[in-house]
Structure 1
């Protein structure tokens, strides 16, 4: 099988280290060659794919007018992995947040957004502390250790979540409630010399999931994102920078296989994780060959069905995969092609009913913008 490779572009994980480097924080490298500034904010707009922004530039004239270039987000192209890339400066093979859901040995299938056993199990914070699930120092911790000011400006509801602790600990958390205080909080941080802020906006992704990327609801939300960017850009302090990025793009699923309804796909399988565009399949002991054969026959050319080792060798999870992370990756890694989905209507009714999805290797999901503006 001819396996796809990730796009030959800089990785989302390079953004925060590059910004911290130009702020003079030791221990970071400016691989993106960002020009020097005295303060900076990285604003992540969840779900703002490069191709979606190109196609709908008329809805976002301020964003579209900024100097921008594409980044790749790595595999899987999903929020948990993207936030961890921002928070650690590493790809998923090292930070270990390998999907929306994934198996943690000795624990079971973790839903990393809810920090609970997937699909409808109990909270896992006591059994799996966030600092054990993702033990590497975050970019915010490293910045703080070097004496730099850093802040996480995000929705107040996320302040105490386990995922926030796992990938964003070390920054001062500034909880916000709407676009107005998000913009005001960003600008307040940028007024402080040698200050770094990471900001997050979630609702474009929500519109894409519920109504589809490019739908009327999604386009109106993109207009609101553009107004947010305009509010910040128009008021940037001298010698400051705003960098707008995203964690993934999105596609609309036109065809789907319900994994829960195909007995041949469940035989010999102890667990299924991931999401409809990017699945981890964990085989029973001794059943790997049979499971691999059944999934390849059933899915044909609608998905790439590869072994863990094949996916690692192809670089899907980054240049390095640690021994801690390897067991979290499925024995099979199944990446959907085109507009195909791998739903689970019985086990995952909410996720299966969504219209927009992401996670796989298409450029629509993998490429996101790096759009920058500088204060004068």
Structure 2
């Protein structure tokens, strides 16, 4: 029932390097067999899952047509969540190497979490994630590199950690994103543009990914991509992907860590996402915590120790500096279940659409090529 990540074979982390190889950047590897080009635009649509595209193909005729012609699924990293996926995309590395191993994670040596979307601590992004990004490497190779994203992302901790390099162009409307991406793509003899689009994920979290609102947003996104392709230089290749898929979790299918004292016993901190929960345990308590959660969740989740999850390759090779950031216990939800912590993350209780675990709905993202 689990879809394991295909790092170094057919993963989201392999995409930008494949484009760089198509641009003839030395040492970059085209593991995905992308066609060579002088210009690439990598469009990441937040919350754009392969299974959702196939389910609602009639709402997205342009994107579904690309999927039929030459599309294929890639795997997201683990957890299948935005911050981890964006840094994997930007560095070409699995989470165990780059170290952004979730939406929230322990800052080693402390008793608090790093929220990677808000980056609300004094943790320096360049210390947390010291590896050079692929955008930096492409820029050093003489490629005109541009990131087109919302203004709020400029200089953010997540941007610095995983997507630094080249020129940042702020674009808050769909029209701006199309116009500025087309301009950036025309720069230089070779160009690489990263473009972020987040409306689909925002809608899915709040209304659910099978709601009329989500389906209307998918149709709007489809029209956006078709217009973007038409605006790009003729010699540009547009690569369309997502950072994760999504599924709906009914409100009566959530288990709160504080709902039973036995579930909280031995746990001093809760992190991760509702679909891939990290539990940080008191010394000597890990085995008891695993047993309690396996009994509570049964077939609705895979409950592993940190070492078990690492051994199974969920995070790729894990550096020693990264290991303590992972939960001592890792809970990967199956089906339509989630593990909430309303006391620490009150917003979780109000959102319907979720992602983060290793199901096909969450792990498989499209790779669509519009040349």
**Distance in 1, Cα, partners of 2:185 & 2:140:** 20
Aligned counterpart, 1:111: 115
- SS of the residue corresponding to residue 229 of structure 1 reads helix
Q: Provide, for residues 254-289 of structure 1, a one-character-per-residue CA deviation record: whole Å limited to 9, x for no partner.
A: 311111222111111121101110011111011122
* Runs (5+) with no aligned partner, structure 1: 117-123
Partners of 1:7 and 1:363 within 8 A in 2: no
Deviation, structure 1 residue 160: 2.5
Give 2:185's aligned residue: 190
Give the corresponding residue for 2:368. 371
Alignment correspondent of 1:155:
150
Aligned partner of 1:171 in structure 2 is 166
Cα distance in 1, alignment partners of residues 117 and 5 from structure 2:
27
Hey, what does 2:105 align to over in structure 1?
Answer: 102
Equivalent in the alignment of 2:71: 68
Return the alpha-carbon distance in structure 2 between the equivalents of residues 104 and 303 of structure 1. 26
Mapped to 2, the partners of 1:16 and 1:275 lie a distance apart of: 26
Find the aligned partners of 1:373 and 1:267 in 2 and give their Cα distance.
52
Q: Distance in 2 between matches of 1:233 and 1:203?
A: 18
- Whether the 8 Å contact between 1:5 and 1:315 is mirrored in structure 2 is no
Q: Describe the superposition over 1:288-318 as per-residue Cα deviations: whole angstroms up to 9, x where unpaired.
A: 2211211111221111000111111111112
Distance in 1 between residues matched to 2:301 and 2:101, nearest whole Å: 19
1:21-100 alignment to 2 at 5 Å?
A: 21-66=21-66, 67-100=70-103
| Partner of residue 339 from structure 1, selected from 336, 340, 346 | 336
How many pairs are equivalent?
A: 362
What residue in structure 1 maps to residue 210 of structure 2? 214
SS at match of 2:214: helix
TM-score by length of 2: 0.95
- Once superposed, what is the RMSD of the aligned Cα atoms? 1.3
Q: How far did residue 191 of structure 1 move?
A: 1.9
Q: Structure 1 residue aligned with 2:263, among 262, 265, 271?
A: 265
Cross-structure match for 1:301: 299
Report if aligned partners of 1:250, 1:357 keep a CA contact under 8 Å in 2: yes
Structure 2: 5+ residue stretches without partners: none
- Is the contact made by 2:5 and 2:78 (CA closer than 8 Å) also made in structure 1? no
1:10 aligns with 2:10: yes
**C-alpha distance in structure 1 between counterparts of 2:297 and 2:180, whole Å:** 48
Structure 2 counterpart of 1:349, from 335, 346, 350: 346
Distance 2:166 2:214 in 1: 31
Q: What's the secondary structure of 1:312's corresponding residue? A: helix
**Structure 1 residues 192-219: Cα deviation after superposition (integer angstroms, max 9, x where no partner):** 3300000001110000000000211111
Q: Is the 8 A contact 1:47 1:246 kept in 2?
A: yes
Conserved 8 A contact 2:45-2:240 = yes
Q: Deviations over 1:76-103 (max 9, x none)?
A: 0000111001110011111111111011
2:231 aligned partner? 235
Query: How far, CA to CA, are the matches of 2:306 and 2:165 in structure 1?
Result: 33
Q: Is the 8 A contact 1:5 1:316 kept in 2?
A: no
- Give, in whole Å, the separation in 1 of the partners of 2:27 and 2:179: 30
Task: Say whether the 8 Å CA contact 1:260–1:347 is kept in structure 2.
Answer: no
Contact 1:151 1:174 in 2 (8 A): yes
Matching residue of 2:254 = 256
